[in-house]
Amino acid sequence: MFSFFKKKQSDSDQLKNDGRESAIASSELTDSTAAESAEEVETELSIHPSSTIPKEQMYVLRFLNNELPPLKANQLSLSGIEWDEQPEGLAVSAFVRNSVEKGIQLGKVPLLLINEKNEVKARHEFNLAEIGEIPAKSSRPWTFIFPASSIEKQVGLEKENWTLAFDLTSKEHKLDLADSWKEALPEAEQEKLQQIVEQLGDPGKNELNFTGLQARRAEDGTFHVTVLIRNGYDRSINIEQLPLQVLDSHKEIIAEGQFNVGNLEIKANTTKPWSFIFPKELLKNETPDLSRWSVHVKSN
């Protein structure tokens, strides 16, 4: 896990974390809906199950972890330990910290290495699944290798007061399924939705759009429409009222009506599928041409 690491000093007071703390709300990278709170959470040291840590390094890790400040509840954090030049690039060690009440498994995430002047020294995407599940309220030490191609050679980097941070500005657009959809849809159907989201590409920046996925007339006369709600903003959007209009291939209105969706959250840079049922009295055309159709938010 560590190609280099701090040496145990004769005076343990000389041991310290060289990097700064960088924390975000867990909802930024996971499907957690729990909000940050003022509650302080101490994180216990957690070693990857497949790692073998020498006794001397384990002493250092425990000491450095105990020096970390508490996090707010429901945060993810990167706390820098030290960095070193390696033949393949910059090796940066840090504690990956989780203050959520449950274990968290992360995927591919871009990280930034920022110097003491808040200048970006390096940017690279890492597969954080390699770290394994980070248990609830724990800190897992890890070493990240920034390849030479990711490093800004003109930007300096001191040994102290640098920051390893999650790069949320380039967060990958992804599918976000509500819990009810996860429970109802087989794994294969969830994978198909993921493929559709990838094929559509990202929505425009600062754009919220609606893409039709499925439309059908039910036996009871109601009209069922499933759409993909696509959020291109870097912030979550909450929808309460949604006036929808469905058009057929001739741009003629099939159905229109206003839906009360409570407080539907569309997270930043995500696509959420949602279904709407139009009562038969809201249908304008009972024999629509559905070879091509579209859905729009009706202007008031």
Q: Where are the domains of the chain?
A: 12-170, 174-297
Q: What is the pLDDT of residue 4?
A: 46
State how far the Cα of 104 lies from the Cα of 164, in Å rounded to an integer. Answer: 19
| Cross-strand pairs, 224 | 216, 277
Angle (CA) 122 124 129, round 5°: 140
Q: What is the pLDDT of residue 228?
A: 96
Q: What is the pLDDT of residue 3?
A: 45
Q: What is the pLDDT of residue 234?
A: 66
Exposure string of 77-104, with b = 16+ CB inside 10 Å and e = fewer, is: bbbbbbbeebeebbbbbbbbbbbbeeeb
| Cross-strand pairs, 230 | 209, 271
Going by C-alpha positions, the residue among 42, 49, 51 that lies closest to residue 5 is: 51
Mean pLDDT by 10 residues, the chain (300 residues): 48 75 88 75 94 89 94 95 93 96 90 93 93 95 95 93 87 85 92 92 86 93 95 82 92 93 86 95 87 86
Q: What is the pLDDT of residue 170?
A: 60
Pick the CATH number of 174-297 from 2.60.40, 1.10.490, 3.30.70, 3.30.420: 2.60.40
DSSP-assigned letter for residue 18: -
Q: What is the pLDDT of residue 5?
A: 55
**DSSP strand E in the chain: where?**
19-25, 37-41, 44-45, 71-73, 75-86, 89-98, 108-114, 120-127, 138-147, 162-166, 174-175, 208-217, 223-231, 237-247, 253-266, 270-278, 294-297
**CB count in 10 Å sphere of residue 178:** 14
